[in-house]
Amino acid sequence: MVRAMSERPTVLSLDLGETVFWDTREILAAQTAARVGALVAGIHRPSGAPFTFEEVAGARERVLSRWGQKGLLASSLPNVDLLREVLAELGARPEGVLEDLAERYSSAGLREHPPQLNPEARRLAQSVAERGIPVVVTSNTSRSGRTWKAFLTEGWGLPIREAVTSCDLSARKPDPRLFLEGARRLNVEPSRVLHIGDRWDRDVVGAEGAGMQAALYRGLWGRYWNPEEGPPVLPPSGTLVPCLDHLTDASALF
């Protein structure tokens, strides 16, 4: 049973991975190849000669490895920062404006190799939007908010008002700054936002740290496959935070 909240939220915030959708190893590998391909097409040597796929992929992995040694992930900083380091690694020059290349890199492969949409997320987003409740996504991701908003609205027809992403803000969940940005953009008090995500330690802890309401979604825990993510953190015994096995149950919280 879903417990009612003391204050009815007026904004819905959704996590992306394992909430709105799920990925597979094969999907992410295809997306990564497309993103490297976008870099290959968008840079050149000082002589004007192109780089090979293998050269660009290797430079990208070396940069990400150095970031990892500093505790950073691809979703920790804007894509333009990653590209600057990749270009420096290769001694390369961009074709045109670097920021434009960064956005092409951000979106590459998403439409060609889309993740699997959670049908419950579609039903929830549409049902609350029909009641005048704005929907935002708030997520740790290496794709920009601009990329995600375009894909979710144009590709899947989801009624997404804003997309707040870690790589844009250089802040990863559970950092409250990521959650507060969505409330700021919609000009609402954080206490009126309900954030739903699949990770207690990121979504619930982060949302509550920002003064928001939170709910834990467990419906896609069976889709976890990446060992780097680790198993889900279980909610503490007796928690008052709603724990949802079906995302559509969140409709009752509004």
Residue ranges of domains in the chain: 11-23+115-253, 26-107
CB 109 within 8 A of CB 30: yes
- pTM above threshold 0.75: yes
DSSP 2: P
Tell me which residue has tokens 């709910």.
215
The size of the chain, in residues, is: 254
Residue 3: what pLDDT?
53
User: What is the spatial distance between Cα 152 and Cα 148, in angstroms, rounded to a whole number?
Assistant: 6
- Tell me the residue type at 152: L
Residue 7: what pLDDT?
81
CB 191 within 8 A of CB 214: no
Calculate the alpha carbon distances from 57 to 40, 54, 167, 172, 223 in Å: 9, 5, 20, 25, 28
Residue 114: what pLDDT?
98
Q: For residue range 149-165, list pLDDT tens digits in order.
A: 999 999 999 999 999 99
CATH superfamily of 11-23+115-253: HAD superfamily/HAD-like (3.40.50.1000)
CB 73 within 8 A of CB 67: yes
Residue 228: what pLDDT?
74
Residue 226: what pLDDT?
83
Instruction: Please name the residues in contact with 237: beta carbons below 8 A apart, sequence gap of 6 or more.
Output: none
- Mean pLDDT by 10-residue block, N- to C-terminus, for the chain (254 residues)? 69 98 96 98 97 98 97 96 98 97 98 98 97 97 98 98 98 97 97 98 97 97 86 91 97 94
Residue 1: what pLDDT?
43
